[in-house]
Amino acid sequence: MTELFNWILESVQSVDPMWRAVLAGLGIMLETSIPVGLVVPGDTIVVPAATGVASVPEAIWLGVAVDPPSDPTIQRSPEPTR
């Protein structure tokens, strides 16, 4: 079993950082829009992708890919008054 995990992590680390972030972001998007999350939770996608991060810019790029900043123009409903 350890060999399997090592193989998975080495495979993820061998992917170009840009593509790794894009694939992780796509996986997170599919987790919430299609019931992929029932089979593969989001943490299972992000943690292996994060093991391949080798610099601060890569970490920032991965963070933005898996959790993009919210749009400030989106109007949120006001809090209910009591």
- pLDDT tens per residue across span 7-52: 888 888 888 888 888 888 888 887 777 777 777 777 778 888 888 8
Look at the chain and report how many structural domains it folds into. Answer: 1
Residue 76 lies in a domain: no
- The pLDDT score that the predictor gives to residue 77 is 63
Give the number of other CB atoms < 10 A from CB of residue 33.
Answer: 9
Residue 55 lies in a domain: yes
Residue 78 lies in a domain: no
Residue 50 lies in a domain: yes
**Residue 12 tokens, joined:** 């993820």
Structural domain harbouring 44: 2-66
Query: What amino acid occupies position 23?
Result: L
Pair 42, 27: CB distance under 8 Å = yes
What does pTM read for this prediction? 0.62
- The pLDDT score that the predictor gives to residue 80 is 66
Using H for helix, E for strand and C for coil, what is the string for the chain?
CHHHHHHHHHHHHCCCHHHHHHHHHHHHHHHHHCHHHHCCCHHHHHHHHHHCCCCHHHHHHHHHHHCCCCCCCCCCCCCCCC
